[in-house]
């Protein structure tokens, strides 16, 4: 895999580089009370999600101005290398990275920490101090300019509707099997995002396993892939992994099933496509 997904050692070796920003997307009380990666800046998940659908450019995006303000406050520069983490297998951190990409940050400089804070803390130092490198960054005079990428990976409802009958496109539902059975886009392949995670190790499964799982589902690099869930959080993790595996044509349906249902899109019920059981994943994720 490429470095869209990075290991703990990879980050540890780059932690002191001035153009590397580590972003902790957990709640502020976790950042302060439990501890964080030294030098990490706190950008809680709720701060870069809209309060209601379509408050920003699409779906739950916060809007370019809001994202730029958050990046400025965190001291993130437009050319910085950003490494994001959470404590939930990376799904919330992935959402931050996709949001940054949609607002113009170079995707080659956006990285998801393989594992999460608990994996880092097993072998690396942590701190509860808030008076470290993040404070220096906040006074560095960085100006972050964000603009929505119309040519980026985001696809709208019309594109998804056309893709249903396109033999060159695979639509992937990243929700749990029971959600899929209750209603999904016609022809969608079911792949619970957690199937790609080893929940015991709290890291992504090895690349060979990932490729095997994706091949079994018919999710091939030679075809276009369009991802959806309920509100585009869970697809963020799958999107980052597909890009790490060098999938080149991956569409990100920000509106996801929430918009699809609201606008009268057809849904199919029952498990009529090959299912993923979710492996050994736990049900600790909200259905969004």
pLDDT at residue 281, rounded to an integer:
36
What is the domain extent for residue 109?
5-138
Do 174 and 73 reside in the same domain of the chain? no
The predicted-structure confidence for 45-82, as pLDDT tens digits, reads as follows 999 999 888 788 999 999 999 999 999 999 999 999 99
Instruction: Give the residue-averaged pLDDT of 123-151.
Output: 76
Query: Does the residue 279 lie in any domain?
Result: no
Query: Does the residue 218 lie in any domain?
Result: yes
Looking at the predicted structure, is the pLDDT value of residue 139 above 80? no
Looking at the predicted structure, is the pLDDT value of residue 97 above 90? yes
Looking at the predicted structure, is the pLDDT value of residue 285 above 90? no
Q: How confident is the model at residue 161 (pLDDT cuts 50, 70, 90)?
A: very high
Domain tally, the chain:
2
Contact 149, 155 (CB under 8 A): no
pLDDT at residue 232, rounded to an integer:
96
pLDDT at residue 143, rounded to an integer:
85
Judge residue 139's burial from the number of C-beta atoms within 10 Å of its C-beta, 0-12 exposed, 13-18 middle, 19 or more buried: exposed
The predicted-structure confidence for 177-201, as pLDDT tens digits, reads as follows 999 999 999 999 999 999 999 999 9
Looking at the predicted structure, is the pLDDT value of residue 133 above 70? no
47: closest CA among 68, 77, 20, 19? Answer: 68
Judge residue 20's burial from the number of C-beta atoms within 10 Å of its C-beta, 0-12 exposed, 13-18 middle, 19 or more buried: middle
Do 114 and 181 reside in the same domain of the chain? no
CATH of the domain at 226: 3.40.250.10
């Amino acid at each position: 895999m490429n470095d869209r997904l990075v290991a703990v050692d990879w980050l540890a070796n780059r932690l002191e580089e001035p153009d590397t920003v580590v972003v902790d997307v957990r709640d502020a009380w976790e950042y302060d009370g439990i501890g964080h990666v030294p030098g990490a800046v706190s950008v809680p998940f709720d701060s870069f999600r809209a309060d209601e659908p379509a408050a920003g450019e699409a779906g739950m995006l916060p809007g370019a101005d809001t994202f730029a303000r958050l990046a400025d406050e965190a001291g993130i520069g437009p050319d910085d290398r950003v490494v994001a983490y959470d404590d939930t297998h990376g799904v919330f951190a992935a959402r931050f990275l996709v949001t940054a990409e949609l607002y113009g940050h170079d995707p080659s400089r956006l990285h998801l920490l393989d594992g999460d804070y608990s994996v880092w803390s097993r072998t690396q130092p942590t701190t509860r101090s808030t008076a470290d490198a993040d404070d220096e960054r906040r006074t560095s005079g960085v100006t972050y300019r964000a603009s929505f990428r119309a040519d980026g990976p985001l696809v709208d409802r019309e594109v998804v509707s056309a893709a249903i009958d396109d033999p060159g496109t695979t639509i992937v539902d990243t929700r749990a099997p029971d959600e899929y059975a209750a209603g999904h886009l016609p022809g969608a392949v079911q792949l619970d995002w957690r199937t790609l995670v080893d929940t015991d190790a709290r890291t992504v499964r090895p690349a060979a396993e990932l490729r095997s799982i994706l091949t079994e589902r018919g999710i091939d690099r030679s075809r276009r892939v369009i991802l959806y869930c309920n509100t585009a959080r869970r697809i963020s993790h799958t999107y980052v992994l597909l890009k790490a595996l060098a999938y080149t044509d991956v569409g990100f349906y920000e509106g996801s099933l929430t918009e699809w249902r609201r606008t009268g899109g057809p849904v199919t019920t029952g498990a009529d496509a090959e299912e993923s059981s979710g492996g050994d994943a736990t049900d600790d994720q909200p259905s969004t």
